[in-house]
A = this chain, B = another copy of it.
Amino acid sequence: MSKVFVFGHRNPDTDAIASAITMAHLERSLDSALDIEAVALGSPGAETRHALDRFGVVAPRVIERARPDVDEVILVDHNERQQSVADIDDVTITKVVDHHRIANFETAAPLWFRAEPVGCTCTILSRMFGENSLQPPPDIAGLMVSAIISDTLLLHSPTTTDLDRRAATALADRAGIDLDTYGTELLRAGSDVGDASAAELIDRDAKSYTMGSTTVRVAQINTVDVDALLARRDEFLAAMNTEAQHEGYDLFLLLLTDVLKVDSDLLVVGAPVDAVEKALGVTVHDGHAKAPGIVSRKKQIVPQLTEVLRAT
């Protein structure tokens, strides 16, 4: 049997990395003959490194292309082509496990695809373990609960479902951690921006979308000190402008999210800004808007902005 890669999206967050490692483990548990490797489309950030260190798991190696190493890939935590490996059109996608909208995804043949509108891909994987009467080992369970904490802001994001809550509780127990204590520690680790440049920060957790005829970039920085980031507003706006021109984004949104208060500020460059205001119910002044309660790109920005931009 030829080798298979499993990976999450570009600019991997904790769920992208943890899901790949978990899915590789699950697939191997179900078919020991399978030659499968979890890889990543980027290096883990501070939050993910914290989780990997805490549970003693080695970070997956970073790949640029799938071929010629493999002809078949499994996608986790994404399905849109532009968020995937560079040569995605040259390989066969055999499976997908995801919790995002489905778009820019097309296959020639039937495949195994599982998406559920839950807060985290690792929640779906946790259900898949259960359906197969399996349990993840404690280190993998630790990574999985880390991903749920990260994606749902410790179960406070509006994306959180009962299935996420149930999975997080069970996985924390399995990993031998206190959910609240470890969760706060993990979110703090992920919100440490250190002395990183604005250009670096806006690329750490950023995704591209095609909405109608508009190319949109949506980046998010988690923090426990929004004011410190807002003091660097001009630096962020300049970096966003430069990247938008360089990469051809019509609109660039940056969400500065307070992970403990579960609230955000929004920075915007490009056009149409009125579409952003209409979609999100915010008022943009000089590239800045208060975005109270908006913390989820997937649930509170992408669907609303897609609808407005498709209608224009």
Contact = CB atoms under 8 A, between A and B. Distances in A.
Interface in A85-118: 99-117
A64 interface: no
**Interface size class for chain A?**
20 to 34
B111 A117 contact: yes
Interface string A144-183: 0000000000000000000000000000000000000000
Contacts of A131: 131
Contacts of A298: 110
B114 A299 contact: no
Nearest to A115: B113
A307 interface: yes
A302 B102 contact: no
Contacts of A116: 110, 112-113
Contact of A113 (B102, B110, B303): B102
Secondary structure call for the A interface: loop
Interface in A201-234: none
A105 B102 contact: yes
A20 B298 CA distance: 29
Contact of A101 (B99, B101, B102, B111): B111
Contact of A112 (B104, B105, B107, B115): B115
Q: Give the one of A106, A114, A302, A303 with max B CB within 10 A.
A: A106
A275 to B, nearest CB: 14
Contacts of A302: 108-109
A108 B113 contact: no
Contact of A110 (B100, B105, B108, B307): B100
A307 B117 contact: no
Contacts of A99: 110
A110 B104 CA distance: 14
Interface string A254-272: 0000000000000000000
A115 B110 contact: yes
A306 interface: yes
A117 B112 contact: yes
B110 A101 contact: yes
Interface of A: 99-117, 131, 298-299, 302-303, 306-307, 310
16 contacts: A99-B110, A101-B108, A101-B110, A102-B107, A102-B111, A103-B106, A105-B106, A108-B302, A108-B307, A109-B117, A110-B116, A110-B299, A112-B116, A113-B113, A114-B114, A131-B131
Closest 9 A-B residue pairs measured CB to CB?
A110-B117, A113-B115, A109-B303, A108-B303, A108-B306, A103-B106, A101-B107, A131-B131, A112-B116
